[in-house]
Amino acid sequence: MYNEVFGLRPSSSSLPSPSTMAHSTMPLSGRPAADRSTELARQIGELRQEIDAALEGHTQFGEGCPRRLREAIRYSLLAPGKRLRPILVLLAAEACGLDRGRAMPAACAVEMVHAYSLIHDDLPAMDDDDLRRGRETCHRVFGEDVAILVGDALLARAFELLATEIMPAEVAVNCCRALAQAAGACQLVGGQADDLDPENQPETLEALTQIHLRKTAAMICVCARLGGIVAQAGEHQIAALASYGQKLGLAFQIVDDLLDAQGNEQQMGKRAKKDADRGKLTFPRLLGIEESRQRARQFVREAQAEIAVLGSGASSLIALADYMVERDR
């Protein structure tokens, strides 16, 4: 279930079992897997446009917002990110039977929190990066002071959006609670703190997995959960979405580490080989490229198996998981 991934061990116990392997190629919707991925690529393009339009609308701000701050917020948020987190919110809501438009405020809220986390992650005091989403990083263009404030503003705007636009109020409260926990001191922020702590760098796969789960998987997990929460899905469905999101999130950070080790800067829109330069422990450093890729694929198969309970509604989420692990940027 949701937390069992915390008990993962670097042993043959996480090699694919015949049952999960069979599941990964089984078309839940009755269509072959290749059709599902073509359909997903089309759908992703369409969803990105809808998300970008919504983000644009939600960051107009009034007269009270200083012009330079507004410019910097939009520079980073509206830059060409992959939008995988908001897409996940929308597809999870659809998988639970909701019209996706109703989940759009939650989708925008997670993208705002994610964008803030990237802006702060790139600051000189953190990863000190100069390239993000194919553009100079926020602090390089607008200064560190403004970049910090952009993060602050995006974080606040995310919760304003949930509180204002998600109905009924009880569902909005549940969304705020879930997102606050995922973004908070024990998850995203805690994971980032440990990731940066020179006194406490991980030495084992277990310790590294704990950091990946908090700094990255928690936000991906909450995307899947938010879709279920907004759709007012049942407890079991939301728990299944959470387990799916957590495993997918772990796979996602392993792939991020693989791309850092091997990827193409131009394609990724961010620098490569930064982890090695900083001496960071990563899955590829510990296990090698091939074994890390196998682990990521195994987590994705496990994630896909978790949402079998959603029936044919889960087919897009299954295809999205494959897409997220096979990505090249």
- Residues binding Mg ion (CB under 5 A): 121, 127, 256, 260
- In the shown chain, the binding pattern of residues 14 to 43 toward ligand IPE, with x for contact by CB under 6 A and - for none, equals ------------------------------
What sign for the dihedral angle of Cα 304, 305, 306, 309? positive
Contacts of 224 (CB under 8 A, 6+ apart): 88, 89, 92, 241, 242, 244, 245, 248, 317
Partner whose footprint covers residue 302, from ligand IPE, Mg ion, none (CB < 5 to 8 Å by kind): none
Long-range residue pairs from 177-184, CB within 8 A, at least 24 positions apart, any chain: 178/222, 178/225, 178/226, 178/229, 179/106, 179/109, 179/110, 179/113, 179/222, 179/226, 181/218, 181/222, 182/218, 182/219, 182/221, 182/222, 183/113, 183/117, 183/155, 183/218, 183/219, 183/222
Written as one letter, the residue type at 329 is R
Residue tagged 């044919």 (tokens): 312
Q: In the range 195-214, which residues lie near ligand IPE by CB under 6 A?
A: none
Chosen residue from 209, 253, 292, 316 binding ligand IPE by CB under 6 A: 253
Shortest Cβ 157–ligand IPE spacing (Å): 17
Peptide bond between residue 168 and the one before it cis (omega within 30 degrees of 0): yes
> Among residues 94 and 127, whose Cβ is nearest to Mg ion?
127
Chosen residue from 81, 228, 245, 284 binding ligand IPE by CB under 6 A: 81
Chosen residue from 40, 84, 226, 325 binding ligand IPE by CB under 6 A: 84
> Among residues 84 and 96, whose Cβ is nearest to ligand IPE?
84
Partner whose footprint covers residue 295, from Mg ion, ligand IPE, none (CB < 5 to 8 Å by kind): none
Q: In the range 307-326, which residues lie near ligand IPE by CB under 6 A?
A: none
Helix axes 218-230, 104-121, angle to 10 degrees: 170
CA neighbor of 238 nearest in space, from 251, 227, 247:
227
CA of 92: how far to CAs of 19, 223, 227, in Å? Answer: 24, 8, 5
Q: In the range 113-172, which residues lie near ligand IPE by CB under 6 A?
A: 114, 117-118, 121, 127, 129, 133
What sign for the dihedral angle of Cα 158, 160, 166, 168? positive
Shortest Cβ 118–Mg ion spacing (Å): 8
Q: Which of these ranges, 19-27, 94-102, 112-120, 171-179, lies near ligand IPE under the rule CB under 6 A? A: 112-120
Please tell me what DSSP assigns to residue 278: T
Q: Is 76 in the site for ligand IPE (CB under 6 A)?
A: no
Q: In the range 213-232, which residues lie near ligand IPE by CB under 6 A?
A: 215-216
> Among residues 59 and 117, whose Cβ is nearest to Mg ion?
117
CA neighbor of 312 nearest in space, from 97, 104, 110:
97
Q: Which of these ranges, 10-18, 22-30, 110-118, 287-295, lies near ligand IPE under the rule CB under 6 A? A: 110-118
Shortest Cβ 312–ligand IPE spacing (Å): 27
Shortest Cβ 125–ligand IPE spacing (Å): 13
CA neighbor of 74 nearest in space, from 65, 85, 87, 86:
65
Most distant CA pair in the chain, distance: 60
Shortest Cβ 30–ligand IPE spacing (Å): 31
Q: Which chain residues interact with ligand IPE by CB under 6 A?
A: 81-82, 84, 114, 117-118, 121, 127, 129, 133, 188, 192, 215-216, 253, 256, 260, 270
